[in-house]
Amino acid sequence: LSGFAIAQRAPEARDLQVIGEPRQRVQLTVGWSNAWRDDRNHDGAWIILRSDDPKLGPLRLAAVGHRCSGELRGEIAVSEDRCGVFVALAESHRGDVEWTIELALAGAAPDAVSAWTVGMVFIPAGAFELGDDHPDVLRHGAFHRRDESGAVAGPLRITDESAMQVAKSPGALWYEADRAGYHGDRGGPIPADWPKGTKAFWIMKHELTQGEYAAFLSALPTPWRTLRSPIGTKGEESSTCSLALDGERVVAASPLRPCNFVSWDDTCAWMDWMALRPMTEFEFEKAARGPARPVAGDYPWGSDSREKLERQVQRARDLTLASAAEEAALADDDRERFGASYYRVMDLSGSVWERVISVGHPRGRAFVGSHGDGVLTDAARATNPDWPATDASGANADGIGFRGGAEYFKATSPNDPTNPQSRVATRTYGGWAGAARYKTYSARAVRTSR
């Protein structure tokens, strides 16, 4: 019996032990750096417990009876499906946190229990402004609204989860789509069940890391690991994937480096395993911008400029300004240097691409935001029927899109608005279905707060 730690800047679980008689409680210590709770929002750790059988989902938790103790006041919120918990500060604070927590199981603990955790940021419920009428983004598929005369009339105020029409008319969502397959089909409606970002949700603070993905691969039986492993992927920058096989384990030489070379299937399998889900385009913009557009043509850090940005991607794709000491200096009024979003989500713009659920295809609009249940198919794929699926070629997953831009270390095309970062509303690839493993493709998961 041992704790299973995912080494990263954010949460690490250790000293796990099953306690109580009968064996229905699990105690572990969880801590991370640069936690916060303030008037705007807070961060937290998503924690699931698993047995050593990779074919089974997370251990189901009891609805009540969980405990959290430490110097600072912490809180534990159990998810509605009882797959896991969010642990977060219960009082205003900024700094490192550590708690010993006790989780009550719904049944007896198996012989081997491991804890899996990932650092997340809480995005509060509420209305927000979607899209932009800045000319540099309008011609790249940005969402916007039109007035009675058909003229561009600014971003849209999204106040609830109601179904939305996609039309060039007042009250509806509209976007230019001059390149087939890139911006989307301008079809609608966008159903009420499609997550629009006005409900509270959690989003990963950082892009998926190579250490997190290596831990996932290490827990899989060999045939599944082979299917989900990017080791040996050929192509430009393949050396930036630091994953290697060490016996039956996969190790990451650079565990904190964003995990590139993940396919859409890889991404979905990891999200299902962790009982999380993909984010929609709307949720991307809410997490990036906050409740209101601060300025036309805004980036997630709240200005329309990249001049003060100090966040950099090294040639090996390690992020600088990513050390604990540096991120500790991040504050709401000093986000520009760090490339941090309104809610302090890191690297939503830049580093590697954010794959999202697109409004631009029927398969994307069929998404209802179901969460993974930790159980994969025999081919090590996610099982959620509402998540866009990859076609037989492996190249496309209709219904996904790409947001936030990525670092290419060279000019990709003249005036490319997505390299190395893009503005919040830019949708140059908002309806693009690329599902393959590639140097600039990574993953970031969310979870509805309930």
- Phi first, then psi, for residue 133 (nearest 5°) are -115, 15
Q: What six digits make up the tokens of 167?
A: 């039309």
- Count how many residues are written for the chain: 450
For the bound state, the minimum distance from the C-beta of residue 136 to Ca ion, rounded and expressed in Å, comes to 19
Nearer to Ca ion, 90 or 375 (CB): 375
Tell me the site size for Ca ion, rule CB under 5 A.
Answer: 7
Tell me how far apart the alpha carbons of residues 57 and 16 are, in angstroms, rounded to a whole number.
18
Nearer to Ca ion, 250 or 380 (CB): 380
Nearer to Ca ion, 211 or 339 (CB): 339
For the bound state, the minimum distance from the C-beta of residue 228 to Ca ion, rounded and expressed in Å, comes to 14
Residues numbered 119 to 178 that lie near Ca ion (CB under 5 A) are: none
Nearer to Ca ion, 68 or 346 (CB): 346
Nearer to Ca ion, 174 or 261 (CB): 261
For the bound state, the minimum distance from the C-beta of residue 327 to Ca ion, rounded and expressed in Å, comes to 16
Residues numbered 337 to 396 that lie near Ca ion (CB under 5 A) are: 347, 351, 373, 375, 383
For the bound state, the minimum distance from the C-beta of residue 275 to Ca ion, rounded and expressed in Å, comes to 9
Strands 201-204 and 446-448: antiparallel
For the bound state, the minimum distance from the C-beta of residue 248 to Ca ion, rounded and expressed in Å, comes to 23
Nearer to Ca ion, 114 or 384 (CB): 384
Nearer to Ca ion, 242 or 351 (CB): 351
Bridge partner residues of 28 (DSSP): 101
Tell me how far apart the alpha carbons of residues 276 and 395 are, in angstroms, rounded to a whole number.
23
Tell me how far apart the alpha carbons of residues 224 and 234 are, in angstroms, rounded to a whole number.
20
* 245-268 per-residue burial string, b: 16 or more CB within 10 A, e: under 16: beeeebbbebbbbbbbbbbbbbbb
Q: Which residue number is nearest to Ca ion in terms of Cβ?
A: 383
Site string for Ca ion, 403-442 (x = CB under 5 A): -x--------------------------------------
For the bound state, the minimum distance from the C-beta of residue 298 to Ca ion, rounded and expressed in Å, comes to 16
Instruction: Let me know: does 402 contact 369? Beta carbons within 8 Å.
Output: no
Residues numbered 264 to 293 that lie near Ca ion (CB under 5 A) are: 272
Q: Residue 159, Cα to own-chain centre: how many angstroms?
A: 23
Residue 51 lies near Ca ion (rule: CB under 5 A): no
Instruction: Let me know: does 399 contact 433? Beta carbons within 8 Å.
Output: yes
Q: Residue 133, Cα to own-chain centre: how many angstroms?
A: 26
Tell me how far apart the alpha carbons of residues 428 and 403 are, in angstroms, rounded to a whole number.
8
Neighbours of 78 (CB within 10 A): 18
Site string for Ca ion, 302-341 (x = CB under 5 A): ----------------------------------------
Using CB under 5 A as the criterion, which residues of the chain lie in contact with Ca ion when the complex forms?
272, 347, 351, 373, 375, 383, 404
